[in-house]
Amino acid sequence: MDNMDDVNHFEVLILAMLNALNDEENYLVPVESRNLDSYQARIAHNVILRSKSIRSKSNDPNPGLSMNLFFFAAIHVCQNLISSHSFADNHCRIMAIACDMFYRLDGSVKDRWGPPLLPVRCTEIWQLIPSERSEKAQLFLLDWEKQNSFLSHLVSRGYRKGLYLGLWEIGRALEHPIEEGCTQLMRCRVRVAVEWIMNCGDLLLAAMSDQKDSPNKAMRPGPIYGEGLPYLSPDRWEFWKKRLAEFQVKFHLHDETRERVAAVLELMQAPSECEKRNSSLERAIKEQLEIVATKERPKAT
């Protein structure tokens, strides 16, 4: 941000996104009557509409909302969600859907996952990875969980370059010893690993089955699994299942986390469910985009 107008514009943009997420109209339809994918796609489009209604007061000759700005604001929105883990995850999913739809609606973009600063921003975020020094920094750990929830949903929507970050997080949680006295850090890492597997299970298993070693050190196995073993192997997937089952039984996890671990273990028995879920969401997004296109078509005279 080069000047105060840009900073103010960014803050107003974040507020507009949060207002779209929390709009009272979102809750008029009873929960039991909602098709979750269609419901979230509609809210995601509302996020885009609210965002595009904000205009920068700077001297930028092209004041249109850029993908980079939209993505950065989406990250900040997810960081500022104040709610339970499951509710925050739903909002992170909506923001990832909004990013996906925003790229599709921008006719000037050939590669919808190609905003030049996206990989840079992801790298910057992962420089702040939690460590034992973060044990008492509860807000930082919560922010980390929400950032991973958002990015894992973004990867499931097509940003495949970010998958190695999920492999890194799962490895840190399940393949390394637990630091003594770091209960909160352990819980955070388990929740993050669960989110990645829950949202990208089919992609992760496909990567594990590729049987090709990757030069990316982020994918290197941890010592509990076995350093020096192949980076990508179905055996590693099976090891994750075993470790998650151990966490479920041996470690003191909060009820919500324990339920999430149980759900992801069930999913890992049938990872194709991830693909089915993503296909269902893709249909809902296309339906929402078609509704938008129909409204924007000029009426016949």
Task: Please classify residue 115 by burial: count the beta carbons closer than 10 Å to its beta carbon, then call 0-12 exposed, 13-18 middle and 19+ buried.
Answer: buried
Q: Is the pLDDT of residue 61 over 50?
A: no
Does residue 58 register a pLDDT over 50? no
User: For position 249, what pLDDT does the model report?
Assistant: 84
Instruction: Specify the pLDDT at position 183.
Output: 82
Rounded (10°) angle between helices 138-156 and 163-174? 130
2-22 pLDDT, tens per residue? Answer: 444 556 778 888 999 998 998
Residue 41's pLDDT band (cuts 50, 70, 90)? very high
List Cα–Cα distances, 296 to 59, 105, 117, 290, in angstroms. 29, 12, 30, 10
Cα distances from 221 to residues 2, 216, 229, 294, in angstroms, run: 42, 11, 7, 49
| Ordered structural domains, the chain, with CATH | 4-296 (1.25.40)
Could you report how far apart the first and last alpha carbons of the chain are, in Å? 46
pLDDT in tens, 75-101: 889 887 866 556 788 899 999 999 999
pLDDT at 44: 94
Which range of 19-33, 41-55, 99-113, 134-148 scores highest in mean pLDDT? It is 41-55
Model pLDDT, residue 114 = 55
Over residues 167-194, mean pLDDT: 89
**C-alpha distance from residue 248 to each of 71, 72, 187, 243, 288 (Å):** 35, 35, 11, 9, 39
- Once rounded to an integer, what is the mean pLDDT over residues 254-270? 88
Is 111's pLDDT higher than 60?
no
Does the structure show a pLDDT above 80 at 217?
A: no
d(CA 55, CA 52): 7
Q: CA geometry: angle at 120 spanning 205 and 275, to 5°? A: 25
The pLDDT tens digits of the residues spanning 130-177 come to 777 677 677 888 888 998 999 999 999 888 888 888 999 999 999 998
Residue-averaged pLDDT of the chain:
81
State pTM to two decimals. 0.86
